[in-house]
Amino acid sequence: MDPVFWLLDKADPILIAPYRWLGDPVAGWWLGTAVLCLWCTILGEATLGLVHWFNHEHIEREKRLMLEGQDKSWEALRSGNKLAYKGFNDQANDSFGKSFFMGVAMGSSSLWPAFLAMAWLTWRFGQVEVPLPLTPWSINFAAGFIPMYIAMRVLWILGKKALFPSSRPAAKAMPESDT
């Protein structure tokens, strides 16, 4: 048996439980999908935290190199040394690029639970049309899951910001030119 389907089969009793909490199957589908989206968000955030924990030294080193290069490039520009400015600026840009793309890669590590959930939803509800509340239309599972997952991620981020206000210092402004 394919490992993904083996995993889906083993997880099925847990994943399907919220879909059966309500007596109405349509309401149960929407509630179950909301719970699934929440579980995906929590598991994704845990994965992101773990990936960040493993990579925090590298991230901090690149940030430090970026800030050092930026500061030195401004010093060189103020002193009129264009060659040194270019070298330090290139160093800062290189470190920024590494930091940026590592951030993108780490951020994408939080999405894997949603893809696994989509596989499970395909397996469980692949041919099912779900009534769209307050409309005469029905949709497939993906059209219900994807916007709900995005909304859950947004709510999660807003909740984190409300509960844990950022303690990061404000970004440095570019120094004024002496010319």
pLDDT in tens, the chain (179 residues): 788 888 888 999 999 999 999 999 999 999 999 999 999 999 999 999 999 999 889 888 988 989 998 999 999 989 998 998 899 889 889 988 888 888 888 889 899 999 999 999 999 998 999 999 889 999 999 999 999 999 999 999 999 999 988 755 555 555 555 54
Residue 176: what pLDDT? 54
CA distance 155 to 90: 38
Q: What DSSP line would sit under 60-100, residue for residue?
A: HHHHHHHHHHHHHHHHHHHHT-HHHHHHHHHHHHHHHHHHH
Could you tell me if 52 and 59 are in contact, meaning their C-beta atoms sit under 8 angstroms apart?
A: yes
Could you tell me if 44 and 110 are in contact, meaning their C-beta atoms sit under 8 angstroms apart?
A: yes
pTM of the model: 0.78
- Among residues 31, 2, 1, 27, the alpha carbon closest in space to that of 18 is found at 31
- Among residues 99, 96, 72, the alpha carbon closest in space to that of 86 is found at 72
Residue 179: what pLDDT? 46
CA distance 122 to 119: 5
CA distance 160 to 168: 14
